[in-house]
Structure 1
């Protein structure tokens, strides 16, 4: 037990010594002061003092004055003070002492036992008081800690509830509780929002809520039906009819709490608004049917092109068919970019004339107001422009160095008017019968869209006018010509631009792989593959030696990412050959060239040469490719 301080104050050293001897048996810390000034200094220095013995009669300041001065300090207002007096004091002096705060008097001669007993009492009282204070402080500390813990738990619970509410709101959800016996329902903000009712005026009950469920979905989605099913957990989809008449789809999931007898007592759950998901599923179903329809139509068009194309030789047949199919493919890409809402006429024209602008840029003019054509119309117009350009390249203005082509259009109240005007070429002579290409132009525009096609075979060149009803225009569109990517079609003569190159090909479509392999071999390359799956491609990439690669991005449902990453890590250049748009491919392959299907031989050659050859060779070959393009790239 810690010792307590006992302050002894007397101006006579002998008396201090006697007090020290008498109180020494208590085993406490005795502190002596010979004057009031010394006593006040010691009090301020000492941590705590349990008892003070003060001589009443002292020079300058007596014991009563000193006691009053001690009491004025806030620390010593409850300090036990015992007066020691060697003279007989009057009753009034005693009262004065008690008023100041003295707790007892001791007269001289001092009886040691009496003094020790009185001091011991106040020491014990001091210790008890300090223990109580310590206990009170500990209790207050525990109360404060408990209060803080409760406040923290309350705040945590509040934040958790806030997060839950935000999450439910962000997910279009709402939570609820149903008292099965009373039919009382408790909602948070979510169900009010989902059901489209005002929380201030709408009181949710089982009857009112079930009345808002669509009649066709009400039978199996009532509280009674769910409870009767016997399961403790449930998930249901149903429609609701808001007070405004709007129909919304909802998903509900909940847990049934039962009493000791197994009777349903309470249901807790959440409701999610899944209207947008349902609409997306409906759009996806419609889109799947539309894709199926368009794919069959496209195959029918391709089959017609194959059956109706006439040529004097097999290379000419292949080149002609490829040109027509690539015209359809280019328009397909434009339509795909707009989710088949339509294609920009300006972009169609730029796509089809881009190969010819390479050598005739200053002699080809085109332009007109913005116009977005419906999908079927866009394909027909693209094929028509392709056939007119092919005819001009073989017989008309684009077959000579002095020829000029102007393709302009305008829109009046009735139709879209497209004028194809050739000048400066060989004199135009009206044929006895239209060839297949120009027949396509007339049949597609006149028969399919009830438009008009007129050919004017003038001495200075062909003038063709296409008239397309305004109903075939989806709306205005900003003209954004894409970059010309060179010629189309497979030239009749190949240079060995890829001679000595070993190329890995991974392609799951057998016919596409065979065609691409033949093109590459015509350019002098050695082709490894084509491999039809990702696993086979990876095995070949690890075991074979090759200079570059062609990868289909989607290999029978597996993306080519692992193979592409392997090639990047090994520093082997490659190109994606895919039906996907560029924005559908991961951004980490932003520097990898992407060639769309169906493949164009010239584009494939150009990309591979730029990847595999140093710039000097690519520059040297540029003129050769242009010469070949002029002589063989545009089929009749």
Structure 2
């Protein structure tokens, strides 16, 4: 009987002995693999599955004991059978050492061919049977696992289907029908009439009337189903739309099954219709929400990315403080917009949020009408205000108790004009060069919002005037971040922040 051959590794440093072992074991019909040193044997083991190792105890460099110890250290070979061949008298201590190293048997020299063949055959057959048993066990486990998963899946689907049917029937969103393929007679239950928005008293169920209620783009679905059943198809499922007599469009999923006579001809088709309009609407809302979240997240990340990349500072701490401040400003306006469901942000609320970290007491006066800012305008203006407040707290009016800050704004012809006036602070000198804060403020207001920013570095305090359009087309905001980076990056690389 043919059987799968196994590999037997013969390890000896003397070619004559290896040849002798080959001759002795040739009749076993297994694959004989030769190694002339311990190192060569290790290389073979890493590349080949070995059933039995026949190894000489006395070899240069690595003797049989050392080789056995190295083999046993590898998890793959901990159960590999090893037979030691020894040309010297082996003491009981050596035998114990060999067994500890993983030997399963000893063969003394001169080797008796029948004995060696018998020993190797036993271990080769044991290896083969073990592998076959492992494969059988694995196959059985795989089949049991697959069958269990199949049963669990079938049970889950059956339960889910039954739950859906029960809920649909209870909610009046499922109907059933029956079509006599021979006579052409139709039968609808009450649920079917409710789904189509018609009544049994006024609606005659026939192919022409049913087709009239289908959405024009989905009429081909009915024709396709009829063609499929005529070809021998026994089940069909599709989604389609109906237009009720009152004009309302509803989404449905229809499942149909055919009954054939002994000759294989279709005689009856029965089916179920489920109204899935709410599910479709929910999917549309979900898709819209996902696109909106994706758009807002990209905008926020783009702003955060430019803040991190363009902020400059001489020290790590100063850099961290600058980045955290700008990110926090972005987070504060994000919170305001979230509370309004991203409808917009009130300007005074925006100023209050940016002003809060400095706790100026009565140093700041605000004056202006209620102004609702679009989300993109609010985000950009929040960062601009953050730069003004930060600079004022470091070097301007808010850096001393005697300083005062007046913020006034007004709106005319959809143009917001905001005045920032500082007095009573340290003596102000016109800067020789603009830092990151000033440059980013200019870039954000002018490039992103299409407005203007004017600075007057008076000795008694900074006077800043911001002019921001309130009705700039939202389409322009999608490329605003790119324009901001393109217009500011060269200069900001040299700015100290």
TM-score, structure 1 normalization: 0.43
> Secondary structure at the residue paired with 1:177?
strand
- In 2, the alpha carbon distance for the partners of 1:308 and 1:321 equals 10
Paired residue secondary structure (1:239): strand
Partner residue, 2:287: 285
Using the alignment, how far apart are the partners of 1:229 and 1:406 within structure 2?
83
Tell me, yes or no, if the aligned pair for 2:346 and 2:371 is still in contact at 8 Å.
Answer: yes
Q: Provide the residue aligned with 2:81 in structure 1.
A: none
Q: CA deviation at 1:336?
A: 4.0
CA–CA distance in 1 between the matches of 2:170 and 2:348?
A: 46
Deviation at 1:320, TM superposition (A): 0.6
- Are the counterparts in 1 of residues 211 and 219 from structure 2 also a CA contact under 8 Å? yes
Match of 1:414 in 2: 414
| SS of the residue 1:312 aligns to | coil
Match of residue 271 from structure 1: 273
2:302 and 2:408 mapped to 1: Cα distance?
A: 31
Give the superposition deviation at 1:441. 2.0
In the TM superposition, residue 316 of structure 1 has moved relative to its aligned partner by 0.7
Report the counterpart of residue 210 of structure 2 in structure 1: 209
Partner of 2:355: 353
Aligned match of 2:464: 464
What is the CA-CA distance between 1:460 and the residue it aligns to? 4.1
CA offset digits 1:579-608 (Å, max 9, x no partner)? xxxxxxxxxxxxxxxxxxxxxxxxxxxxxx
Q: The residue matched to 2:425 in structure 1 has which SS?
A: coil
What is the CA-CA distance between 1:203 and the residue it aligns to? 2.6
| Mapped contact 1:415–1:469 kept (Cα < 8 A) | yes
Q: Distance in 1 between matches of 2:200 and 2:451?
A: 59
Name 2:219's counterpart in structure 1. 218
Matches within 5 A, 1:327-366: 327-357=329-359, 360-366=360-366
- CA distance change for structure 1 residues 405 and 292 in 2, over 3 Å: closer, same or farther? same
1:337 shift after superposition = 4.4
Give the SS at the match of 2:471.
helix
Aligned to 1:455: 455
Is the Cα–Cα contact under 8 Å of residues 176 and 186 in structure 1 kept in the other structure? yes
Provide the residue aligned with 2:425 in structure 1: 425
8 Å contact 2:172–2:191 — kept in the other structure?
A: no
- Pair 392,193 (structure 1): closer, same or farther in 2 beyond 3 Å: farther
Structure 2, unaligned runs of 5 or more: 1-164, 475-495
- Matches of 1:219 and 1:435, distance apart in 2: 67
Give the C-alpha shift of residue 400 in structure 1.
0.8
User: For residues 440 and 278 of structure 1, what CA distance do their matches in structure 2 show?
Assistant: 45
Aligned partner of 1:404 in structure 2 is 404
Q: Which residue of 1 aligns with 2:155?
A: none
- Counterpart secondary structure, 1:183: coil
| Partner in structure 2 of residue 564 of structure 1 | none
Q: How many angstroms apart in 1 are the aligned matches of 2:284 and 2:316?
A: 47
| Root-mean-square deviation (Å) | 3.6
1:169-208 correspondence to structure 2 within 5 Å: 170=171, 172-188=173-189, 190-197=191-198, 201-208=202-209
Residues 458-607 of structure 1 aligned to structure 2 (within 5 Å): 458-471=458-471
Deviation at 1:458, TM superposition (A): 4.1
- In structure 2, the CA distance between the partners of 1:238 and 1:167, relative to structure 1 (3 Å rule), is closer
After superposition, the Cα gap between the structure-2 partners of 1:419 and 1:176, relative to the gap in structure 1 and judged at 3 Å, is farther
Whether the aligned pair in 2 keeps the contact of 1:371 and 1:473 (CA below 8 Å) is no
Q: Deviations over 1:253-311 (max 9, x none)?
A: 34444555554444444333333433433343344444444444444333322332222
Give the match's secondary structure for 2:178: strand
CA deviations 1:547-577 (Å, max 9, x no partner) are xxxxxxxxxxxxxxxxxxxxxxxxxxxxxxx
Q: Is the 8 A contact 1:372 1:473 kept in 2?
A: no
The 3 A distance-change label for structure 1 pair 191 and 425 is farther
In structure 2, distance between residues paired with 1:365 and 1:178: 79
Q: In structure 2, how many angstroms separate the alpha carbons of the residues matched to 1:284 and 1:314?
A: 43
Q: Tell me which of 300, 303, 327 is aligned to 1:301.
A: 303
Count of residues in correspondence between the two structures: 311
Q: Which residue of 1 aligns with 2:325?
A: 323
Q: Which TM-score applies when normalising by structure 2?
A: 0.53
Secondary structure in 1 matching 2:239: strand
Instruction: For 1:241 and 1:403, locate their aligned partners in 2 and report how far apart those are by CA, in whole Å.
Output: 70
Deviations 1:54-75 (A, max 9, x none): xxxxxxxxxxxxxxxxxxxxxx
Q: Who is 2:54 aligned against?
A: none
Structure 1: runs of 5+ lacking an equivalent = 1-163, 475-634
Task: Name 1:381's counterpart in structure 2.
Answer: 381
Structure 1 CA distance for aligned equivalents of residues 367 and 255 of structure 2? 59
Partners of 1:374 and 1:472 within 8 A in 2: no
Partner in structure 1 of residue 492 of structure 2? none
Partners of 1:425 and 1:192 in 2: CA distance: 80
1:386-435: CA deviations, max 9, x gaps? 11110111112211112233434443332233333333323444334432
How far the C-alpha of 1:228 sits from its partner, in A, is: 4.0
Distance 2:383 2:356 in 1: 14
SS of the residue corresponding to residue 442 of structure 1 reads helix
Pick closer, same or farther for the CA change 1:331–1:225 going to 2, 3 Å: farther
